[in-house]
Amino acid sequence: MSSAPTTHTVIEPKVLYFGTPVTVISSLNPDGTTNIAPISSSWYLGHTVVLGIGTDGQTLPNLARERSCVINLPAAEHQQAVERLAPLTGCDPVPPVKRQQYRYEPDKFTAAGLTCTPSEFVRPARVAEFPVHLEATVAAIHEPADDNFAIVEARVVRVHVATDLVIPGTQYVDTNHWRPLMYVFRHYFELGRRRGRNFRADQ
Ligand SMILES: Cc1cc2nc3c(=O)[nH]c(=O)nc-3n(C[C@H](O)[C@H](O)[C@H](O)COP(=O)(O)O)c2cc1C
């Protein structure tokens, strides 16, 4: 049964972050080390991941040069590690537009208390503590002329899921235990209770 129509107010919000999971993108720096950056602008079409990446950081040039990345998905319990990454950039010097709020950090793993683990198919490393790693190749980068972000299409070539989140003997993630870290208007959340299932759900 639908609820009653509600009244609406026209507003002009600064951002439209109504709610997406946090991901942390691993990309390869020119010196062969891995840069990691929190991203909330991501969504999935089959095995393609679409990422919104700012043009004022280190991640975009790394993706353009190396054409691969890892999309690491933290759980809700990793919020503090994500927030430790938040004021850091792999850009040296820090671009003027970021100078007030960000500092250059060449080793973001150590700065955030996270562990680097090698990938299987791509050169950027994975974040060992996070429960999901999607190794991916970069298929296309679209740079809108007037905007300060690019739209990156990444094709997933390998999926790693923490063993205790996999339903034993299947290819399914156990939704009873997967707790993604969500980002809503610059605040972190975890999911509440299950509201039901889609008519096409297998599990
Ligand atoms: C929770 C969270 C979500 C973010 N989402 C995005 C995003 O979707 N796209 C983006 O370009 N930057 C996003 N940022 C900002 C980047 O993490 C930030 O610009 C960082 O300095 C990028 O690192 P880099 O310069 O080493 O690439 C987000 C930051 C946080 C903490």
Angle at CA 86, nearest 5°, toward 55 and 74?
105
| Burial zone of 73 (CB within 10 Å; 0-12 exposed, 13-18 middle, 19+ buried) | buried
20-195: CATH topology:
Pnp Oxidase; Chain A (2.30.110)
How confident is the model over 8-20, as a mean pLDDT? 95
Helix, strand, coil % over all residues of the chain, rounded to 5: 15, 35, 50
Average pLDDT across the chain, whole number: 96
Is the CB–ligand 1 distance for residue 106 below 6 Å?
no
Which tens digits make up the pLDDT trace of 62-89?
A: 999 999 999 999 999 999 999 999 999 9
What one-letter code names the amino acid at 193? Answer: R
Q: CB burial class (10 A; 0-12, 13-18, 19+) of residue 25?
A: buried
Cβ(60) to ligand 1 under 6 A? Answer: no
Q: Is ligand 1 within 6 A of the CB of residue 57?
A: yes
Locate the domains of the chain by residue range. Answer: 20-195
63 within ligand 1 shell (Cβ under 6 A): no
Please say whether the beta carbons of 143 and 150 come within 8 A: yes
Residue 60: DSSP 8-state = H
The residue contributing the CA closest to ligand 1 atom 13 is 39
Name the residue with higher pLDDT: 144 or 41.
41
For residue 200, report the distance from its CA to the centre of ligand 1, in Å.
Answer: 34
Q: What is the mean pLDDT of residues 88-102?
A: 96
Measured between alpha carbons, how far is 93 from 38 in angstroms, rounded to an integer?
A: 20
Confidence tier at 147 by pLDDT (50, 70, 90)? confident
